[in-house]
Amino acid sequence: MKIAVLDWHTVSVNGDIPTDELDALGEVHIIPFTSADETAENIGGAEIVLCNKVLITKEVMDACPNIKYIGLFATGFNNVDIAYAAQKGIPVCNAGQYSTNAVAQQTFAYILDHFSRIRDYDTAVRNGEWERSPAFSYFPIPTAELAGKTLAVVGFGSIGRKVAEIGSAFGMNIVVNTRTEPQNCPYETASLFEAAEKADVITFHCPLTDQTKGMVNAELLSHMKPSAMLINTSRGGVVNERDLAYALSSGKLACAYADVLEKEPMSPDTPLKGLPNCFITPHTAWAALETRRRLLGIVCGNIRAWLSGSPQNKVN
């Protein structure tokens, strides 16, 4: 069985993830990155195609008649024409819930960064400010406890639930907004605008759909406290970046932390670039070593399940 891996460097950029588990499944062709005009050529005669973000279109599938299976190193599958794959009898299988712990952890790294101001105090110490202090304790930069603050969680899948659980452990008041009413939810639920109004922190963990695209816009931001912080680790398209940039630069919102942007890699002209109260990480929340190892295990498990005649995590 020939296996084409089209963008391996989105999973392992420095060789920290071995390919032994993949190699045991067939003849593997590892390609670091694949551009749109190289896709059909790089797939060649492979029966199994694995990718993260490479577009697998109708044209690609027609040009590669040997494809029997498409596997994704991701939960999202909008880069694959799943309807056409179904017409051709090609199962498309994704990898879900592999990044729950890592994304929840980074969400709280943002929250703690904002409320505990570790970076700012480290900078102050490096600049000699504590050495010049007349008192034993030097605290000109305000910090705050998380206990008693309201954390609004938008989206209540595995990541949203984990974030709510951690916030609750810190003593935060949890408010959940989700498309469908969750069963046995131990937290308060609210409409999106109600959640925004109550939030000291609002964090987004929802998929990008027609309903969620641009949901963080001027109208939603107008419902938030000027002291609130906003976090997006879901998808860049959930946020209208111009509206968010205006809210941040005009004092309508205290700060924002984003791990995802509308255009990735980051465009030099994103309106969020350079804002002193906007902190951007390069889509790293999912990328812990343990997380990527788990991801590869899920992808290989999906292939084994398909080979045994019982496909799992099939999205089409």
**Which residues are the active-site residues?**
235, 264, 283
Q: Tokens 């019982």 label which residue?
A: 310
CB 256 within 8 A of CB 231: yes
Using only C-alpha atoms, the chain has a radius of gyration, in whole angstroms, of 22
Residues 137/139/145/151 CA torsion (nearest 10 deg) = -160
- Cα separation of 309 and 316, whole Å? 16
- Cα separation of 238 and 232, whole Å? 8
Grouping H, G, I as helix, E, B as strand and the rest as coil, residue 310 is coil
- Cα separation of 173 and 191, whole Å? 16
Residues 165/295/41/63 CA torsion (nearest 10 deg) = -70
* Token representation of residue 132: 């010049």
Q: What is the DSSP letter of 100?
A: H
**Secondary structure in 3-state letters for 139-157:** CCCCCCCCCCCEEEEECCC
Bridge partner residues of 230 (DSSP): 202, 256
- Cα separation of 25 and 302, whole Å? 11
